[in-house]
């Protein structure tokens, strides 16, 4: 039985066309700034997001951390929603790498309000860390793929600007937001100082992210990338896959979103399973299996050939649709889940 893998949109394999792009990539030494494919990718993503410059990096975690390192100094504070990726999934890097204090803020499905941000900014006082940076996330992972409404995003950024803060966007799945909302990714990114995007999640490349932003910040991030061991040599092999993904896999994200809605509708019909269909905005479904603890449900479904992850609450599972999950796979997965939970 072939497993159907909903653990993440990071599990995809390169398509045949992407493999050809990798094989044909023109390369050079990127540490010397001589890899033409990397340079083309960096120029392309900067243009697409409406920002000045870009830096190709191995991972989304590194992109976010380079942004924090470029914006902050030891003893500063970064404000971010309490469920954000930089707090939960980056190995404690914020304090470990930069000596920066995280300031977790309460949000709803990962989204903040202007009032919460305004209240969190510390006054200038020798007893306080300097609140230096606001980091936002779109779509929001632990928020179940929630998309930031643009005007709400703009209002939160305006509050941060009035307080003198820089703004970073963890846009690992920003193109999911673009497709779901029908709004160019640049509409969010242009409001920030730096934005990170990931090519190896919904876009289906095997490796790579980019940090995009003001030219001076990207120059500093390039120096910090070297410090973290993220400077790569003939990286055009990887950049070619990212370019192919950017050029061919953005519009097809709508298929993943439709499959997520189909999956959610099917799960909602199963006994003991609860899904809020209104919260399925992109390619993530959070479902509550009430009959047993979430880790037990994960193990049960795995035995039936459906791979999932827990979602941080009692009975909650996260299922992520992606390039390698077809509509036929959705229907087969629902049949397998039904057999598992009804038996």
On the question of a cis peptide bond just before residue 139, with omega within 30 degrees of 0, the verdict is yes
Separation of alpha carbons 280 and 54, rounded Å: 31
pLDDT tens track for 147-169: 999 999 999 999 999 999 999 99
pLDDT category of residue 69 using cuts at 50, 70 and 90: very high
Residue 343 has pLDDT above 80, yes or no: no
pLDDT tens track for 251-292: 999 999 999 999 999 999 999 999 999 999 999 999 999 888
Which one of 179, 213, 248 terminates a domain?
A: 248
β-pairing verdict for 209-213 and 194-198: antiparallel
Residue 17 has pLDDT above 80, yes or no: yes
Do residues 172 and 306 share a domain?
A: no
Residue 209 has pLDDT above 90, yes or no: yes
Do residues 220 and 274 share a domain?
A: no
Do residues 244 and 122 share a domain?
A: yes
Which residue segment(s) compose the domain that 216 sits in?
16-248
58 and 187 Cβ atoms separated by less than 8 Å: no
* CATH code: domain of residue 201: 3.40.640.10
304 and 338 Cβ atoms separated by less than 8 Å: no
The pLDDT, as a whole number, for residue 116 is: 98
Do residues 267 and 157 share a domain?
A: no
Do residues 225 and 322 share a domain?
A: no
Separation of alpha carbons 147 and 24, rounded Å: 36
Separation of alpha carbons 137 and 339, rounded Å: 36
The pLDDT, as a whole number, for residue 45 is: 98
Do residues 240 and 259 share a domain?
A: no
The total domain count for the chain is 2
- For 27-45, the DSSP string reads ---GGGT--HHHHHHHHHH
Do residues 117 and 199 share a domain?
A: yes
Do residues 256 and 232 share a domain?
A: no
Q: What is the pTM of this model?
A: 0.96
Instruction: Give the alpha-carbon dihedral of 335, 340, 342, 343, to 10 degrees.
Output: 120
Separation of alpha carbons 242 and 329, rounded Å: 26
Separation of alpha carbons 301 and 226, rounded Å: 42
Q: Which two tokens stand for residue 183?
A: 């709004």
Q: Which two tokens stand for residue 197?
A: 């995007």
């Amino acid at each position: 039985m072939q497993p159907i893998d909903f653990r993440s949109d990071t599990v995809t394999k390169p398509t045949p066309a992407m493999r050809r792009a990798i094989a044909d990539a023109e390369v050079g030494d990127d540490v010397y700034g001589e890899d033409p494919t990397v340079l083309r990718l960096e120029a392309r993503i900067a243009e697409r997001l409406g920002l000045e410059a870009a830096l190709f990096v191995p991972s989304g975690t590194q992109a976010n951390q380079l942004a924090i390192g470029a914006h902050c100094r030891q003893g500063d504070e970064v404000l971010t929603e309490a469920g954000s990726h930089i707090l939960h999934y980056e190995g404690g890097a914020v304090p470990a790498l930069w000596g920066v204090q995280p300031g977790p803020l309460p949000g709803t499905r990962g989204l903040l309000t202007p009032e919460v941000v305004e209240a969190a900014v510390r006054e200038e006082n020798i007893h306080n860390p300097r609140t230096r940076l606001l980091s936002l996330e779109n779509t929001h992972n632990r928020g179940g793929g929630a998309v930031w409404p643009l005007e709400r995003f703009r209002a939160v950024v305006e509050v941060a600007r009035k307080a003198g803060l820089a703004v970073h966007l963890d846009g690992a799945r920003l193109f999911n937001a673009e497709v779901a909302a029908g709004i160019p990714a640049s509409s969010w990114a242009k409001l920030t100082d730096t934005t990170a995007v990931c090519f190896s999640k919904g876009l289906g490349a095997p490796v790579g992210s980019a940090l995009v932003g003001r030219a001076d910040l990207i120059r500093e991030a390039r120096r910090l990338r070297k410090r973290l061991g993220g400077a790569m040599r003939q990286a055009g092999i990887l950049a070619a896959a990212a370019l192919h993904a950017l050029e061919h896999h953005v519009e097809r994200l709508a298929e993943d979103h439709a499959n997520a809605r189909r999956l959610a509708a099917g799960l909602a019909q199963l006994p003991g399973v609860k899904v809020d269909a209104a919260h399925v905005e992109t390619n993530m479904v959070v479902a509550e299996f009430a009959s047993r603890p979430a880790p037990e449900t994960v193990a049960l479904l795995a035995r039936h050939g459906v791979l999932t992850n827990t979602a941080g609450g009692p009975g909650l599972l996260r299922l992520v649709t992606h390039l390698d999950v077809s509509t036929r796979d959705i229907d087969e997965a629902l049949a397998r889940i039904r057999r598992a939970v009804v038996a």
